[in-house]
Amino acid sequence: MSTWTADVRLARRLVSGSDRREWWRIGLTAAGAALATAFALAAVTLASVPDGYTVSGLHGLLGEAGTRSGVIAGLSLLLVAVLAFLGQCTRIGAAHRDRRLAGLRLAGATPRQVRRIAALETGLACLAGSAVATVFSVLLLLRLWTVPTALAWAGIALVAVGVPVAGAAAGAAALRRVVASPLGRLRRTVPGTGRGPGLLFLGAMVPLAVVTPFVMGGSGGPGGPGGRGEWRTPTAVFLLVLALGAGAVWLAGATARLTGRILGPRARSAAALLAAARLRDDPWAPARTHAAVLVVTAAGTAFLGVRHAMLTELRAREGHLGMDSAYYTTGLDLTGAALLVALALTLGGLAVGAAESVTTRRRALAAQVAAGVPRRVLNRGLLLETALPLAPALLLAGAGGLGVGLWYSSLAGDGSLPWAALLVAPGVYASCLLSAATALPLLGRSVRPGELRYV
């Protein structure tokens, strides 16, 4: 216990004495933890609503167990996007922590203690964000719900504790391949091979195959008696997104590696050659961020098709609906807003990843500029690292989303898609390039000759 107490005290002192770069990491990590806590608290609170309790607002969308489970599923999807953003934030400034980790080793810390202290730094940042979100969420809950149930309080406590613990675990996992020697030299294992996403995909498909028959059968499902089965639809959707995300990680990494191998021997410009070498050497580095882009693209394209079919059906049955039309359109609007929030989080994670890539390679970039490589070549190379692997992957994701939209429209008897569905993939692609371009000013500061002092 004394060792853990000393590590927590040391981690707190390191956080309080961090420089500006570290405060960016701490601030973004705390913001991500706050968002994750808010979405998780909203989900567990809705899931703990007892049978027969009337929830007002949103045109009665939360009043029934079936539609309430759909809202919980949407919050679960947002939670996946926030966790991906949070995982990206934990890797910010890894290069700037090298000398600090080496100093801890010189002071007598073991590699395990170094990883634990770094994980506690992330956990403290997550704890700050989670505490702020929990306080405001509880105040809002007491304003809307006079006497919350014991199950609701238990879920709130679990989320408030679970988010910082998960953040610390993510920080430890980010350093599982890194060991700092006392002289500050980093030794990394062989880069990822892509087996992890494949195993995760298979691991998510097994419970998904178990839960799906209950959801499709409807026995005790969301619409069943008492609504006691409303956990099944959110669980199935969460597992489906997990499997889709794992498959997207594999697709993004495989696409990047294939692009680097094909483009390398055929590159006709220095920028393309640099981008191809980067993709070939470490194709799995941006795979997690690119995977979130693919999931959002496929989901957004499919949503526009589903929305078009549902609105067409609502107009055809106007005057013969069991509920007010606002009851249905509100659900569609909430889904669209959730997808926009997920896209914003994904683009933020992409911008953070691009900036971190530049920061990690600042010495090599400075050496290239000192050797005579023009800065505009490095700028184009940085953008090509994002543009080249994303183009074919987004094409596949958009095609998959269009297929889902057309399938749903054919079931509804319409068989058509709005023209906006065709613009989702190009729009996301342009947004990704703009997000990657936010790292160009940082690239200009990183290629200064002064960086060569640390080589």
The per-residue pLDDT for range 44-89, each reduced to its tens digit, is 888 887 766 666 666 666 766 667 777 777 787 788 778 778 777 7
The full DSSP string for 212-274 is HHHHHH-TTSTTSGGGTTTTHHHHHHHHHHHHHHHHHHHHHHHHHHHHHHHHHHH--SHHHHH
Residue 411 has pLDDT above 70, yes or no: yes
- Look at 441 and 73; give whichever has higher pLDDT: 441
Specify the pLDDT at position 314: 80
Containing structural domain, residue 115:
1-189
Q: Tell me the range of 23-27, 205-209, 295-299 where mean pLDDT is highest.
A: 295-299
Q: What is the largest CA-CA distance in the chain?
A: 77
Dist CA 270 CA 289 (whole Å): 26
Residue 178 has pLDDT above 60, yes or no: no
Burial of 13-37, coded b for 16+ CB within 10 Å and e otherwise, reads ebbeebeeebebbbebbbbbbbbbb
Dist CA 35 CA 428 (whole Å): 22
Specify the pLDDT at position 273: 84
Could you tell me the CA-to-CA distances from 125 to 4, 116, 178, 218 in Å, in that order? 17, 14, 21, 42
Specify the pLDDT at position 302: 85
Least confident of 29-33, 62-66, 138-142, 373-377: 62-66
173/207 same-domain check: no
Specify the pLDDT at position 216: 53
Structurally, the chain folds into a number of domains equal to 2
354/237 same-domain check: yes
74/152 same-domain check: yes
Domain endpoint, select from 189, 220, 239? 189
Dist CA 277 CA 108 (whole Å): 38
Structure tokens at 171: 């920080």
Domain endpoint, select from 130, 158, 189? 189
Specify the pLDDT at position 428: 93
Q: How many CA atoms lie within 13 A of 36 on its CB side?
A: 29
272/142 same-domain check: no
> What does the pLDDT average to over 422-448?
87
Confidence of residue 1 (pLDDT cuts 50, 70, 90): very low
49/24 same-domain check: yes
Among 297, 293, 296, 396, smallest CA distance to 354 is for 293
Specify the pLDDT at position 454: 53
- What lies within 8 Å, CB to CB, of 331 at 6+ separation is 61, 67, 70
Dist CA 19 CA 447 (whole Å): 20
> What does the pLDDT average to over 244-259?
75
Dist CA 401 CA 424 (whole Å): 10
Domain endpoint, select from 158, 189, 220? 189
Least confident of 178-182, 186-190, 246-250, 383-387: 186-190
Confidence of residue 131 (pLDDT cuts 50, 70, 90): very high
178/240 same-domain check: no
Dist CA 138 CA 360 (whole Å): 40
Specify the pLDDT at position 115: 74
198/176 same-domain check: no
Confidence of residue 217 (pLDDT cuts 50, 70, 90): low
Residue 267 has pLDDT above 70, yes or no: yes
Confidence of residue 451 (pLDDT cuts 50, 70, 90): low
Confidence of residue 230 (pLDDT cuts 50, 70, 90): very low
91/9 same-domain check: yes
Dist CA 275 CA 383 (whole Å): 8
83/228 same-domain check: no
> What does the pLDDT average to over 240-261?
73
173/261 same-domain check: no
Give CA torsion, residues 411, 413, 415, 419, to 10 deg: -110
69/151 same-domain check: yes
> What does the pLDDT average to over 362-390?
84
Confidence of residue 269 (pLDDT cuts 50, 70, 90): confident
> What does the pLDDT average to over 134-155?
86
146/205 same-domain check: no
Residue 187 has pLDDT above 50, yes or no: no
Residue 17 has pLDDT above 90, yes or no: no
Residue 90 has pLDDT above 80, yes or no: no
